[in-house]
Structure 1
Amino acid sequence: MSVEAADRVASKTSSRPSTPLQVSWFEFLLDGSLLEKHLQKTSPDPTPVQLIIQFLEQASKPSVNEQNQVQPPVDNRRNRTLKLLALKVAAHMKWDLDLLEKGLTTPVLNMLLNELLCVSKVPAGVKHVDLDLSTLPPTTAMAVIIYNRWAIRTIVLSSFPEKQNKPGPHQMNIVLEGALCLKKDFYIHTLRTLDLLASDAAANGETESSTAGLRISADELHCQVHYDLGGIFFQQGCTDQPAYEKARDHFRQTNELLKKVLRPGKVSSP
């Protein structure tokens, strides 16, 4: 090959656009500012749901002791940080259950939402049906509501409610019906409030204040809850005819609230 031909080949090769390398999960552990930058990209690779999967998979890997025995995942700073990163990605997605259910398997989403309950300081060992949502900090109450909404949606989507373990549909109904009695705005964790939980700033109670996190209007949340309750009552109507009437009422209220939430000129939640 002549020198000129070699130069042309080299020129063509160097002019080819290079494909950016996919960011590895451990890089987010090394650089605390990387996650937000990554999520702001137009087409992040890995995608948000892929990141949640990677973070939780790494955090839940069993360990092996000196006797070569498999042990449960270690509760150390690395694994706690990985779980927090997964929550921050979900917060970036604004806790959209439609998106989360589409991209995550039931076990992974269950792990994610249980971690949300944990960081939101939902009392351990207490049945959700026994909690008074009106007395809980806003982000704590919202975590309970999101978890129970997801649990009911999972039952409806699975079409096999008899295979579901505790808490049962009736208990979840009561929790969500209790949420409908609350007429104030709700708040859910954001990237910022999750950062505060991992810092000394959480000690001053800022994450428990009435205005910490992403504001969700009462109408918006009630609209979602009415729809989910309508779904579970409609499914129960196959064996309990009066449940159809309850489903119709919840769907009617969903429609009325949807008109309020989406009416022209209405400012949506920030």
Structure 2
Amino acid sequence: MPVQSLPSRSAVTSRLRAAGCVFAEDEADLLLSAGLAPNELIIAVQRRVDGFPLEHILGWAEFCGLRIRVEPAVFVPRRRTELLVREAAGLLCVVAAEPAGPAGTAPSAMPSTPQVLVDLCCGSGAVGTALAALVPGVEVHASDVDPAAVQCARLNILPVGGAVHEGDLYSALPARLRGNVDVLAVNAPYVPTASISNMPYEARVHEPRVSLDGGPDGLDTQRRVIAEAAAWLRPGGHLLIETSRRQAPLTAAAMVCGGLSPRTSTSAELDGTVVIGKLL
């Protein structure tokens, strides 16, 4: 019986391009380098043609230079969310530059107690995992209401020393974190309900609705996060929320009502927008 050979790069690329994959060549390279047997590769290509997210097929997504495990039916981390990570890392690193002793003494290399980061609405845990890599010594906690997301996040966050909690927003977190969180990094769902139908097929069909649908104006979950943030942040702590440019003024206004002083960061390179609120 003849041994089946791997389809050629050009054949895989042609199939993906015909299916409408914008980055057909790159996707073909990833599938061909995944170490799949010929029959497995044929099935994988067909799944991609049928609209399955590439990351669910591969089992991982590239994010902040890391390979993040992504299980089926779990939200796939987007490159735009790297702006949230950049801003959070910058705030966490600021503490290391603050003087820790009497005047004239050198600044401490690290804070005397670990900084506390919470990755709320964590999905796969990509944000918490990336920040653990960027800011050594940070105490990472992540939470999500979706059991599938929690299971996936544990595959990413537990190996870097973090903890993952299942439940609705802050109710999932250990009580000892209340008033002691340095940075709350949040990628809550912010797509308006009426806009879900306009999303790419692979997102609206293969990613959980709870990770996408932000209510009529997209800010339902954001408002809930903001309303309780001051009770969980330490004085001077920060809440960072990914949102869209159009929604950013509404997110910022909600932060003012929640007792936070907001500013907005955008990145044309990443097509990302993050509203950052400081607890004074």
User: Which TM-score bucket, shorter chain as reference?
Assistant: under 0.3
Q: What TM-score do the two structures reach when normalised by structure 2?
A: 0.24
What is the TM-score normalised by the length of structure 1?
0.25
Q: Which has the larger radius of gyration?
A: 1
Q: Of Structure 1 and Structure 2, which has the larger fraction of its residues in helix?
A: 1
